[in-house]
Structure 1
Amino acid sequence: MATNFLVHEKIWFDKFKYDDAERKFYEQMNGPVAGSSRQENGASVILRDIARARENIQKSLAGSSGPGASSGPGGDPSELVIRIASLEVENQSLRGVVQDLQQAVSKLEARLSALEKSLPAHRATAPQTQHVSPMRQVEPPARKVATATEDDEDDDIDLFGSDEEGDKEAARLREERLRQYAERKAKKPAPVAKSSILLDVKPWDDETDMAQLEACVRSVQLDGLTWGGSKLMPVGYGIHKLQIQCVVEDDKVGTDLLEEEITKFEEHVQSVDIAAFNKI
């Protein structure tokens, strides 16, 4: 089936035979001299390229201008002279900068040595001058009172007298003034320590009257207890808790006492928690 199909195609299967016959025909017409002359022409071209390359290499080595030698080290000498001149100018400027830096360093060294020489003399003369600080002139009130008491005692006591009555009177006055000073110091009120407490009061269920619960909480009255603001906070399932602020004196009211007094209202209060506790 494949051969029958190829029979109807117009394909030149024997083209290579015709090509060989055409090549042999032209070889017979031109003769073998043509092939040898073509080879000789190719060799002469290669030799000519080699000779030209050798000539270029010799020119570049000799430093003369030629093809391929302009970009090498044997280029225009004027450019090299210009570069050398610019380098010399830059070298001169750098030398000037270095000299300026050396002079500045020498000046700094001289100033440092002069300061080091003058420092011991300043330290030796410093203790001779005493400066009174303004802060030292202010004395605490206790020292002032004690000093005033001592001054009054010195005024009342006659140091040059030998009278025993004067000594007894001075001792009595001193004891009286010390007693008065101690009484005044004892009467001075001490600072009261206070704390700010934020309480969470939880009801039993959503049917608890929160207004009545807050009224019960505020009905707790203790010495050193002051109630502040309050608000209702949602807990869940329609239940709200009462969040109330109070200020207590630490020496009079404690958190345990406060919780115990609030939880006495068992019909409304389920539990009491401390949400925040801060010292004032």
Structure 2
Amino acid sequence: MANPLVCDSVWKDKQKYEEAEAHYQQVLAGTAPKGGGKDKKQGKSGGGSSIKNEIAEARQQIQKVLNSGGSGGVAGDNSQVTRRVESLEKENRDLKKVVEDMKALVQRLESRVTKLEGGSSAPAAQAPTPKKPAAPAEDDEDDDIDLFGSDEEADEEADKIRQERLAAYEAKKSKKPALIAKSSLLLDVKPWDDETDMKKMEEEVRKITADGLLWGQAKLVPIGYGIKKLQINCVIEDDKISTDFLEEEITGIEDLVQSMDIAAFNKI
């Protein structure tokens, strides 16, 4: 009797397991035959035919995709190319038309310029040359005539007229009054203290009179500690009155005036 352990270690159904494993892989891949292949012969034939069918179907699908995609792409490209060609042809026709119009315009301009140049040059060529006046017949009596005497008399008369006009201008200028330069001054006259009679101070300042001096408005401006200063305006003629004269005359009122300052000086 054979040893059972030895029999158990022998794999008697290896082919069956391999077929089952192959069938399982086909099932997972989705390529298993519909019949299932119950016996060995059916399994082999079914497996081979299914692979062939799948390969054939795959080829058909690839061919179908290639045929559809290729034809669609070519048709699309052909339509785009056709449209592009049509637009280029239209542009070409438009450009030709523009060029023809420009040529016609240039030709018209050239013909017009030619006509103008021809019209201007023809009269110039045909213009008659001016004839010189005929020389008068020589006479022996002309030798005694002074040809330059009339020019000298005309020059003397022109000089006389010029001198008369200059004399009239000088006389008119001398009668015109000369411009008198004047200035406007604002003076600050300060008293000794707060007890100074400011009204009397203004009266004394206005008593200062001279040719070219004109007093204006006056007002009292507070300085501080109850003291006020007299601010008075005057107009002077620059050639007759000077600021030094005003300062000497105003500060000469020693009982009332401490000092005098020029607050503003403007030319008129």
TM-score (norm 1): 0.44
Structure with larger Rg? 2
* Higher RCO structure, 1 or 2 (CA under 8 Å, sep 6+): 2
